[in-house]
Structure 1
Amino acid sequence: MKITDEIEKRRTFAIISHPDAGKTTLTEKLLLFGGAIQTAGAVKSNKIKKTATSDFMEIEKQRGISVATSVMAFQYQGKQINILDTPGHKDFAEDTYRTLTAVDSVILIIDCANGVEEQTKRLMEVCRMRNTPVIIFINKMDREGRDPFDLLDELEDMLDIRVRPLSWPIGIGATFQGVYSIYNKNLNLFAANKTKISEEIVKIADLEDPQLEKIIGEDATAELKEELELVEGVYDDFNSEDYLKGEVAPVFFGSAINNFGVKELLETFLDISPSPIGRESSEGYVEPEDKDFSGFVFKIHANLDPNHRDRIAFLRIVSGKFERNKFYNHVRLDKKLKFPNPTSFMAQDKSVIDEAYPGDVVGLYDTGNFKIGDTLTEGVTFSFKGIPSFSPEIFMELENKDPMKSKQLEKGIQQLTDEGVAQLFIQQPGNRKIVGTVGQLQFEVIKYRLENEYGAKCDFTPRRFYKACWMTTDNRDQLDQFVKAKASYIAKDKDDNYVFLAETKFLLDMAQQDYPDITFHFTSDFKVK
């Protein structure tokens, strides 16, 4: 099969949402339709003992939240579907932002009762930065919620994007009976089923079918026709090119937990969503069809399997064909590496693969060679751009509670911060370790994992810093003066770059004013030559 055929078969996307909007539940149902699993795990239900497939870390199972991006692949209607299920909690936003660099499109879930929430807006801003195509799924229509037209207005106002409904709910809450597909002009009515795919009760080809009134009632039929007429009058016809440019977001309605509207979403998604696209690099734009292999690491996860203490780098393939046991250039290290056991994923279940194509996400066993943003190439050497990282918002000093386990603590904090969900700064004298994150919950996860995966006990002591600022300058003397004058607030990151830990905005402003030749960076993805 030609590489162009393999590329066209693939769909690589992320599912994103505010916490509790139903992201992991929707992921489960898509996996059900793909035949990847037979029974969906209820994330917060004690009655169903099986936990959600995409939540594989022990702390996720205990708390019922996702704290790490999971990768899942399955086949559906001749397509290879790669889903990246991301953490919803804002404390893990950096993992989600980084994951968005590895996908070609996004499904954004909205809770029909809550509408647009704070995290939803932030996620959408990241999508808009790259003009990522977005489909919106308004979930939980089986519960009492907001009027669909009000929700559509709010989406346009608060997310700054035009919307176009491609499905429409029949009722809401107690009166919710199913979803009409505007895109396919048909209606599938299902019996609610939380853990398996229900067989359709009835398939109705169009709104004039006399069966419709018999099944959903005369009033519901009249209301559905009236609302669809209003939709067609208010919204422009759907234009797939506008969607692919990130200018319009198709909207679907449903109830993920009961399987209403999920099939309509999946099948329309496969029809309109983009196949894998290229990426900007230091040597220009790289097309998926380019014959030479290239890819970048967007995530690293230590101890995916705690029994084997493995460390896996998640590689998004951008161009060419990846082959097992073939040597590729590791650009940053300037060395050749080969991978005898590259894997594909079904959450924590892994299988060794011989080859992979643009759009695929491959797991590479890593002995410490990789960092977030690393590029692998075949042939020409270049680096991919745009792996985002942010100045932390919360800073804590790491304290060792068991001196006998100092080596384990050292190894653990290095590996966990390599995953990119927290940043590590070393202060002298004393080799003091300052950990910075974008959210408080991340410290709880780090502490849990250090103890349970590395056998190291620690505590965190708050440090009051406003921002971590990386510094570049052509004036070495001025930098030396600054480092000497601010010694108590200077640290080094893991790459040995100087970082200014500013206590307040005022002190940062003063530093910028007093040392004009130093540039203070608020993201850690700049390159120090």
Structure 2
Amino acid sequence: MKPDIQKTRNIGISAHIDAGKTTLTERILFYCQRIHAIHDVKGKDGVGATMDFMELEKERGITIASAATYCTWKNHEINIIDTPGHVDFTIEVERSLRVLDGGILVLCSVGGVQSQSITVDRQMARYKVPAVAFINKCDRSGADPFRVIRQLREKLSHNAIAVQVPIGLEANFDGVVDLVTMKALYFDGESGETIREGKIPADLMDMVEERREELIDAASMYSDDLMEQALEGEVTPEVLMEAIRLGTLERGITPVFMGSAYKNKGVQPLLDGVTKYLPNPADVTNTAVDLENNEESVDLVTDSSKPLTALAFKLEDGRYGQLTYIRVYQGSIAKGDTIVNARTGKKVKVGRVARMHADQMEDLERLEAGTIGALFGVDCASGDTFCSPHITYSMTSMHVPEPVISLAIVPEDNKAQINMSKALNRFTKEDPTFRTKVDPETSETIISGMGELHLEVYVERMRREYGAAVTTGNPQVAYRETITQMSEFNYTHKKQTGGSGQYGRVAGYVEPVPGEDFVFESKIVGGAIPTQFIPAVEKGFQSCMEKGALLGFPITGVKIVINDGQSHSVDSSEMAFSAAARGAFREVYNRCKPAILEPIMKVEVETPPEFQGAVMGLLNQRRGIILGTQEQDTLCFVEAEVPLAEMFGYSTVLRSSTQGKAQFTMEFASYRKAPQSVADDLIEKAAKEKKDKSKVA
């Protein structure tokens, strides 16, 4: 049976750590009758939530990999992706949002808009994903959903409008008033499965009227019918719903729902909101580029009879082969079809089509346009586009952040070496933010990622899933080098051997360009350097950017301008000019006063107010700059910028200083020049390490 595209929803649930995403997904699956018992994250029964199916996720009580599932609610088919909250696994959120049509932004009614909420909101904005907000944990002490709505407006610039009002708060949280239908909703039964409609409590009437007025005002901007009804004083729920939907699709309104997923309250009205307000695949315009037609932009149509265009957005390498998560934008994929990978041009035969429920697979005959599913046994990379044999469309790839931390890993024996290689091959293929390389000087294997937790999880997975016994070295920060002043160069490369030699002269200047990686400009006139050699000059300079002379880290923020040079009719070649460029840069680099840039992290600490002084003291000791503090009832939030190098081991120190009551999140903010004393220490340490290595050699 073909799914009705109007009744299909592809949604993602994303939020700050511990806002309750996985708990909410568990309740959604229960009410949609996909599961028949509710299990909790870090549950005492040892089962754990459905979507956290990895052993590590169950143990730590966190989501590591995004998991996909689907369910049916009131004849609507909903594909759901539950994403991690930790910034270390940001690529999981990024690739999920790339293929989703709508999102649920979950916020804690006590914590409000936190640092990671800002990050996921930025990711939603990048892919223009319309969202509804769900303010969770309304049963916690200190809950204030209307403060969270104010923060949504101030911190995230959302036009956040409540579509519900809570009946009681904290321990007295009983249910919600629906401002569209003007009914009070209570959630009875052991797991809140029975919805009882009642009259709006009299003491809430004034507040309900005021909030409904606000809702109608915001929604009437998107509907003339609603504006007319509002002026006549008789607003019907159907017209109000349609206006809210139009506003949500344009990202002009963010409808706000309230509840407590853990206490089974407010989840069903949120599901109704997903079906009423979030877009179906046909509401969203997706574009691809035509590789055979000068990369012209092509609008895709959510129609199964059109030629196929689908995006592979996530890979999992299981025991029996590769599982490729795929979103079909146009056309359809059936078992036995021949499809083409637009990147490689290779034809692929589809062996098995499935849809996922966490780690379980359900075989399908066909994936229609607008749906999310999985292909089994198809070899491809993350971000590849598949299309019908007679077209070559390609979807734009997703944004992949650069790793900020590295770690050396050493296998304990030969067997561990083989298993480690297998694990690294799989992890680098699955996760674009996880990189691996071999240090040419020490022959050590270096893994790089988004944070300590990110690398810790992969090392643990190596041990568990592959039985690779490895030991890890000290974490290494991804520093950068740059220049701080302009300097001129004039360098001649001459080499005379038997037969024709090598000759090339390059002259010009080098200057800093903050915010750019590498800029090359040629101002050569009159053929001082023949045109065919200029790319070789650029390539020569570019190769010098890979390793700076201070610490051996990549160089960034450099502009090179060549304005003069000289060639020889016989001895000049691309190789000679490339060598001249390298020699010129080596000579001029130290005259440009090179400096070291260090990664700065944005750190947010959540602590009880009595430990605020201790927390700020710890951040100051770590060269942190306090950006601001905010007190909210029982908690105090401290925001700071701290160099990544100073953050190792911070979680242990923070726990011991605050009796285990504080927690922190951190994400990459920017690169900044390291203080001279720190730079001197780093250079000294690097020189010592080099000396020790040469002694060993």
- TM-score w.r.t. the length of structure 1 is 0.84
1:450-487 deviation per Cα after TM superposition (whole angstroms, max 9, x unaligned): 1222222223332332369998988343323442x466
* Contact 1:466–1:502 (CA under 8 A) maintained in structure 2: no
Q: CA deviation at 1:237?
A: 4.1
Is 2:403 aligned against 1:406? no
The counterpart of 1:64, out of the listed 58, 61, 77, is 61
Q: Quick check: 1:203 aligned with 2:217?
A: no
**Which one of 69, 83, 86 corresponds to residue 86 of structure 1?**
83
Alignment match of 2:451 (pick from 410, 432, 439) = 439
CA contact (8 A) 1:396 1:435 kept: yes
Query: Counterparts of 1:470 and 1:457 in 2: how far apart (Å)?
Result: 38
User: Take 2:552 and 2:150, find their aligned partners in 1: how far apart are those partners?
Assistant: 41
Q: Write the deviation string for residues 210-241 of structure 1: whole angstroms up to 9, x where unpaired.
A: xxxxxxxxxxx233212112213444243322
Instruction: Tell me, yes or no, if structure 1 residue 232 matches structure 2 residue 212.
Output: yes
Question: Number of paired residues?
Answer: 480
| Pair 1:345 & 2:345 matched | no
CA distance in 2, matches of 1:110, 1:310: 37
Q: Residues 33 and 434 (structure 1 numbering): CA distance in 2 closer, same or farther, change over 3 Å? A: same
- Structure 1, residues 246-304: CA drift from partner, whole Å, max 9, x if none? 1211000001112211111101211121111342211322121261121111111223x
Superposed CA deviations along residues 369-400 of structure 1, whole A, max 9, x for unmatched, are: 21111000013112101411011121223322
Percent identity for Structure 1 against Structure 2: 26
Q: Match for residue 508 of structure 1?
A: 556
Aligned position for 1:35: 33
Q: Distance in 2 between matches of 1:441 and 1:329?
A: 37
Unaligned runs of 5+ in 1: 208-220, 491-500, 523-529
Structure 1 stretch 99-108 or stretch 409-418: which is displaced more? 409-418
Ranges in structure 2 where 5+ consecutive residues have no aligned partner: 220-242, 291-297, 482-515, 521-533, 564-580, 583-598, 600-697
Question: Structure 1 pair 314/489, CA: closer, same or farther in 2 (3 Å)?
Answer: farther
In 2, Cα distance between the equivalents of 1:269 and 1:400?
49
1:316 to 319, 327, 330: 327
Aligned pair 1:448/2:460, yes or no?
yes
- Provide the residue aligned with 1:377 in structure 2: 387
Q: Is the 8 A contact 1:447 1:457 kept in 2?
A: no
Q: CA deviation at 1:103?
A: 0.4
> Any residues of structure 2 matched to 1:18-167 within 5 Å, and which?
18-46=16-44, 48-167=45-164
Q: Distance in 2 between matches of 1:260 and 1:472?
A: 56
Summarize deviations over 1:74-110 as a string: whole Å, max 9, x none.
1221111100000111211121112100100000100
Contact 2:547/2:553 (<8 A) preserved: no
Aligned-pair Cα RMSD in Å: 2.8
Structure 1 residues 126 and 344: alpha-carbon distance in aligned structure 2, compared to 1, 3 A threshold? same
Per-residue CA distance 1:473-510 (angstroms, 9 max, x = gap): 88343323442x466569xxxxxxxxxx9848xx522x
| Secondary structure of 1:342 counterpart | strand
In structure 2, how many angstroms separate the alpha carbons of the residues matched to 1:487 and 1:129?
30
Aligned to 1:211: none
8 A contact 2:400–2:432 mirrored in 1: no
Alignment counterpart, residue 537 of structure 2, candidates 439, 463, 477 = 477
- 1:294 and 2:309 equivalent? yes
Match of 2:477 among 464, 473, 478: 464
State the structure with bigger RCO (CA 8 A, min sep 6), 1 or 2.
Answer: 1
Query: Which residue identity is paired with 1:258?
Result: K
Q: Provide the secondary structure at the position in 2 that maps to 1:392.
A: coil
Q: 1:395 to 1:513 in 2, by over 3 A?
A: farther
Query: 1:21 Cα deviation (Å)?
Result: 0.6
1:280 and 2:287 matched: yes
Q: Distance in 2 between matches of 1:515 and 1:382?
A: 39
Residue 403 of structure 2 is aligned to residue 392 of structure 1:
yes
Q: Secondary structure at the match of 2:53?
A: coil
Query: CA separation of 1:11/1:330 partners in 2, compared to 1, >3 Å: closer, same or farther?
Result: same
Provide the residue aligned with 1:358 in structure 2.
369
Residue 477 of structure 1 aligns to which amino acid in structure 2?
A: V
Residues 234 and 271 (structure 1 numbering): CA distance in 2 closer, same or farther, change over 3 Å? closer
Q: Which stretch shows the higher mean deviation, 131-140 or 407-416?
A: 407-416
Paired letter, 2:67:
S
Correspondence list, 1:160-175, <5 A: 160-175=157-172
Tell me the alpha carbon deviations over residues 389-418 of structure 1, each in whole angstroms, 9 at most, x when there is no partner: 011121223322323332321121011111
2:10 counterpart (9, 12, 18): 12
Q: Distance in 2 between matches of 1:147 and 1:452?
A: 43
Where 2:4 maps in the other structure, the secondary structure is helix
Which protein has the larger Cα radius of gyration, Structure 1 or Structure 2?
2
Q: 1:489 to 1:420 in 2, by over 3 A?
A: farther
